[in-house]
Structure 1
Amino acid sequence: MLLRAALTSAFVLSSSPVVAGQTKLDANDFMANCTSSVDQSSVTLARSGGSNKGHITVGDLQGEADILPGLDNLTFLLIQDGQVVNFAVDLVSLEYDMMIKGTSQRFDRGSCTPS
């Protein structure tokens, strides 16, 4: 019984929506501004109504992206102008990993803040 109570408490604490003073992104409706920890560049994300489409702006690339849901994360996939942007954001920690492949290749990581 004690083990069960401890596990329940650990689950409640680990699934708390507040991480380092930031709020968990609502997976269905959000706008977020993300900043690279590599070169301080910006990425903006948006999703509305839990749709499987969202909007992403990465430098000169911007447009409607497919959204692939995961466990506490979303992956934005944008294919445009011979480039593929794969942007995965963790909804709890608000950290992201991004890979752009095509005429140029770029790997990036950073963090997002809801707006």
Structure 2
Amino acid sequence: MWRASIVRFAEHGSPSQALQRSAIEAGVGTAEVAFTRHGYVVHLGRSTLRMVAEAGERDNRYFDWASTHYEPHFMGEPDAPAWYAAFLDEFTADVGALTPAALIAACSQYRRQP
């Protein structure tokens, strides 16, 4: 939880680095949650930069950087590209054409068991 003695996220390529360092220096305890390593979340990394580059948003102050830094890094997890590909295959099979109605219909197929 953020508090006044902890610095905020920075606006650059590693936004939480200073925040994490500041939290440790303030004595905030840490625990590893390997949500990317264990495949619970696949973080593409650089998705926003890709959208800026693909849209040709030359008025965006990050356009020059985005035009050469848009490939996903997957947080360095070696299995993540395969997990993402498998997710896309399943998503495409379940949703089909990506429309709001198709997405809602696909999500409605999966209900939590009581």
The answer to which structure, 1 or 2, has the higher relative contact order (CA under 8 A, 6+ apart) is 1
* Higher-strand-fraction structure: 1
- TM-score by structure 2 length? 0.25
> Highest CA radius of gyration, 1 or 2?
2
- TM-score by structure 1 length? 0.24
* Higher-helix-fraction structure: 2
